[in-house]
Structure 1
């Protein structure tokens, strides 16, 4: 339950962080670098506001990521991969025995497959090989 709520908040923070980063101007003065006096809602002041929001959302993102990792690790700590295997059902005497093929009765065996005979065409006449085409008339010399 708690993981679902934290994951939902985490997704919302991710979407908001993406939106805030995309709204910032790409002038190279992001994340508090660069300075100078500026007003609150001037062009530079809006950049400072977006920078502060970016820092807050980024910090929230990292804290939520750490919390989700710790909680999901603690939830899975009670289960072990070895505990999920059914080792008690394995008989060690049967492990080294060769596999016995199942007997096949003649009535249940499928019929053998045969490949169709390929039709090869003669490139000069266009007829299939093995068939005869009418002979071309012999040229006559006058």
Structure 2
């Protein structure tokens, strides 16, 4: 379900970008300024392209809100900051410096016995 809404959201974004770029620039963005479009009002008449832009914008905002709600439902019940607060305190040495945990054997290279995996050589 979330993938379908995400695909629709992306298609709406591309369509909205395309429809805005196709429209003619009238110099008075957002209806500001006079243009002589109306006889008595400063607002230009609604064009079909303008109506399509509004429909795409409203659909884009609706899919954005739906995706936000779906993401909030799938999220964990706690904040990242809450998870940081539950970490144990770092140990400190006698001089006040934090003690780093040991790396263990995980970072050592494999031993030379027969049970070790074969490693290619750069001869």
For residues 78-101 of structure 1, the C-alpha deviation after alignment (integer angstroms, 9 at most, x for no partner) is 3553559985xx5x6x7234648x
- Partner in structure 2 of residue 13 of structure 1: 12
For residues 92-139 of structure 1, the C-alpha deviation after alignment (integer angstroms, 9 at most, x for no partner) is 6x7234648x9xxxxxxxxxxxxxxxxxxxxxxxxxxxxxxxxxxxxx
Q: How many correspondences in the alignment?
A: 87
TM-score, normalization by structure 2: 0.52
- Partner in structure 2 of residue 71 of structure 1: 70
- Partner in structure 2 of residue 96 of structure 1: 92
For residues 20-44 of structure 1, the C-alpha deviation after alignment (integer angstroms, 9 at most, x for no partner) is 11111112477788447xxxxxxxx
> Superposition RMSD on alpha carbons, in Å?
3.6
Note the residue ranges of structure 1 that are not aligned, 5 or more in a row.
Answer: 37-44, 103-142
Note the residue ranges of structure 2 that are not aligned, 5 or more in a row.
Answer: 40-44, 103-123
For residues 61-84 of structure 1, the C-alpha deviation after alignment (integer angstroms, 9 at most, x for no partner) is 111111111221221043553559
**Aligned-partner Cα distance in 2 for 1:79–1:4:** 25
- Partner in structure 2 of residue 137 of structure 1: none
**Aligned-partner Cα distance in 2 for 1:35–1:19:** 27
- Partner in structure 2 of residue 112 of structure 1: none
